[in-house]
Chain A
Amino acid sequence: MRLFFVTADYSFRALFHWVQPAQYLIYRALFPLTQLGFFALVGTYGGSQPISFYLVGNVIGTATITVFGVSQAVADERQQGTLSYLLASPAPRVPVFFGRATLHVVDGMLNMAAAVAIAVFVFGLQLPMERLTGLVIAMLVATIAICGVGLLMGAMALIVLDSAILANFAMFVILLLSGANVPLSELPGFAAAAGEAMPLTRSIAAARLYAGGAPLEAGLGLLAGDLLVGALYAVAGYALFTWLESTARRRGRLEGV
């Protein structure tokens, strides 16, 4: 457990270059919040759904920004020249790998809380106060689930060398296919099926239920599904990471797997 939390702390502070508050605010607050406003206004202009559809979808959609942090926390070990020390250490790999996402969950929640505030105070989103618990749980599940994608992207970036591009891809694919902006029923069959296989799809659906006044039980099944999908991505990331490690040891090519 100590290793888990030490990894969480150091990977967050050291690997993501957030020494200066200005940089932190721009990348983790300004960007997702302006993205929320942009898509909400495009949706309003389109007029096929009420604005609450786009606001709730994009509040949960801001979780996608977490992919950047988590994937960089894994992939930047190579860029910083610390990957060889990490893999040479006797530390168990499970806390070393999964610990990297921990603080990003907290950070992602703060981000989404800011997004909710913008949606309520700037765009006038009406949220039933008695359903806030459900909405907060949906936000938490979305953030945890998206960390799974971040871990997988981070491990993949050790092969393709650029975590930022992978994270950008993941963000836009999820924003397009998860139902944040386009109802899944409007997408072609293959795209809707792909959307079902992604984290956030069910969290967004559950959040819309809660924003519409549905009771807590109504969305729990959806949220459990999203946790499962996120866990599958995280395990896939771990499997890839350990495979890369063993391949690197076998071939003696740690920096060029």
Chain B
Amino acid sequence: MRHALRIVWMAAEVQARELAVSGFMLFAAVFQPFFIGVTAMFMLRHRPDFDPVYVIVGTALTGLWSTLLFSGSGVINHERWMGTLELLAASPTSLFLIFSGKLIGTLVFSLLSLVLSYAIGALLFGYDVTIADPLGFVVSMLFALVSLWALGMLFAPLGILWRTVGRFLTGIEYPVYALAGFLFPILLLPVWSIPISYALSPYWAAEALHGASRGELDLAGLARTWLFLAITGAVAIVAAYRLFGVVLVRARRAGTLALS
């Protein structure tokens, strides 16, 4: 167990260090949420029931999602470009464990967008930012992070097993902003798209965090969102585990790891 945790910790640290000097990922975690947050603050502040916390939480979620999406879908390809994928696949350490750590590093890095979103509301616009249910918010954040991490783990092998799927993944950034209701309620979307929203962990993350931050959900309501975050996360991680197995089969039996 200690051995596994050590590997996860080291992989997370290396990943966080790499992201901290990646201009593109810094843009996704810091600058893009800044522009989206400021734009959304201007666009939503005329609502009679305007609550800056709604924009802050929604903006933070866009940063979390974008960072996870781009990092998750490219994390294996990045190793391939660096020439280290074959070494990782051949090592006795579980590939799944290594990339688990890497995406934990990504999640920690992406929390920058949460800090930045708070700064937009509190410092740039001068709003009094208060979380209605701090404990519920913290628990919701933990559930959200674990569930989003699981989704990132699912994206990682997809990008290498099917190149077109990998490219398509980078195009779902804004659709998920909309389908998950980060900055507007999904009731504005067509009825047929609502079941898709329900199947997405980012939607339940937004429900939980918006609900806790604005005090709109009681404990039962929050528990319901946590349950769905746990279910969507579990489905994603089981699927990811199987796909990582396929990646290893390709590496060891077919010998086409670097050729997909």
A181 touches B31 (CB 8 A): no
Instruction: Confirm or deny: B42 has a beta carbon within 8 angstroms of a beta carbon on chain A.
Output: yes
Instruction: Confirm or deny: A22 has a beta carbon within 8 angstroms of a beta carbon on chain B.
Output: yes
Query: Residue-by-residue, is A38-64 near B (CB-CB < 8 Å gives 1, otherwise 0)?
Result: 110111111110000000000000000
Contact residues in A for B3 (Cβ distance below 8 Å): none
* CB-CB under 8 A for A37 and B43, given A45-B184, A176-B35: no
Contact residues in A for B36 (Cβ distance below 8 Å): 172
Contact residues in B for A42 (Cβ distance below 8 Å): 39-40, 43-44, 183-184
Contact residues in A for B39 (Cβ distance below 8 Å): 39, 42, 175-176, 181-182
Contact residues in B for A173 (Cβ distance below 8 Å): 35
A18 and B34 alpha carbons, distance in the complex (Å): 30
Contact residues in B for A27 (Cβ distance below 8 Å): 171
Instruction: Confirm or deny: B178 has a beta carbon within 8 angstroms of a beta carbon on chain A.
Output: yes
B23 touches A169 (CB 8 A): no
A26 touches B188 (CB 8 A): no
Instruction: Confirm or deny: A34 has a beta carbon within 8 angstroms of a beta carbon on chain B.
Output: yes
A37 and B174 alpha carbons, distance in the complex (Å): 9
A46 and B174 alpha carbons, distance in the complex (Å): 18
Query: Residue-by-residue, is A138-174 near B (CB-CB < 8 Å gives 1, otherwise 0)?
Result: 0000000000000000000000001011001100110
- Among the 9-residue stretches B102-110, B162-170, B212-220, the one with 4 or more Cβ atoms under 8 Å from chain A is B162-170
Contact residues in A for B92 (Cβ distance below 8 Å): none
A152 and B34 alpha carbons, distance in the complex (Å): 23
A164 touches B42 (CB 8 A): no
Minimum Cβ distance to chain B for residue A49 (Å):
9
B164 touches A22 (CB 8 A): yes
Instruction: Confirm or deny: A30 has a beta carbon within 8 angstroms of a beta carbon on chain B.
Output: yes
Query: Residue-by-residue, is B161-195 near A (CB-CB < 8 Å gives 1, otherwise 0)?
Result: 00010011011011101100001110011000000
A-B contacts at CB below 8 angstroms, number: 84
Minimum Cβ distance to chain B for residue A126 (Å):
19
* CB-CB under 8 A for A46 and B44, given A31-B174, A162-B24, A176-B35: yes
A46 and B185 alpha carbons, distance in the complex (Å): 11
Instruction: Confirm or deny: B253 has a beta carbon within 8 angstroms of a beta carbon on chain A.
Output: no
Cross-interface CB contact of B42 among A23, A30, A165, A182, cutoff 8 Å: A182
B177 touches A38 (CB 8 A): yes
A123 and B24 alpha carbons, distance in the complex (Å): 32
B175 touches A48 (CB 8 A): no
Contact residues in B for A165 (Cβ distance below 8 Å): 23-24, 27
B174 touches A35 (CB 8 A): yes
B184 touches A41 (CB 8 A): yes
Contact residues in B for A182 (Cβ distance below 8 Å): 39, 42-43
A23 and B168 alpha carbons, distance in the complex (Å): 8
Contact residues in A for B31 (Cβ distance below 8 Å): 168-169, 172
Contact residues in B for A46 (Cβ distance below 8 Å): 43-47
Contact residues in B for A37 (Cβ distance below 8 Å): 174, 178
CB closest residue in chain B, given A171: B35
A34 touches B183 (CB 8 A): no
Contact residues in B for A86 (Cβ distance below 8 Å): none
Contact residues in B for A187 (Cβ distance below 8 Å): 42
Contact residues in A for B47 (Cβ distance below 8 Å): 45-47
Instruction: Confirm or deny: B94 has a beta carbon within 8 angstroms of a beta carbon on chain A.
Output: no
Q: Considering residues B167, B174, B185, B188, which has the most beta carbons from chain A within 10 angstroms of its beta carbon?
A: B174
A30 touches B171 (CB 8 A): yes
A226 and B171 alpha carbons, distance in the complex (Å): 30
A45 touches B178 (CB 8 A): no
A22 and B170 alpha carbons, distance in the complex (Å): 12
Minimum Cβ distance to chain B for residue A206 (Å):
22
CB closest residue in chain A, given B175: A34
| Other A-B pairs, 20, CB within 8 Å; known A38-B178, A176-B39 | A22-B168, A26-B171, A34-B171, A37-B178, A38-B174, A38-B177, A42-B40, A42-B43, A42-B184, A45-B184, A46-B45, A48-B46, A165-B24, A168-B32, A172-B31, A175-B39, A176-B35, A181-B39, A182-B39, A182-B42
Q: Which 5 A-B pairs have the closest CB atoms?
A: A172-B35, A45-B184, A48-B46, A34-B174, A26-B171
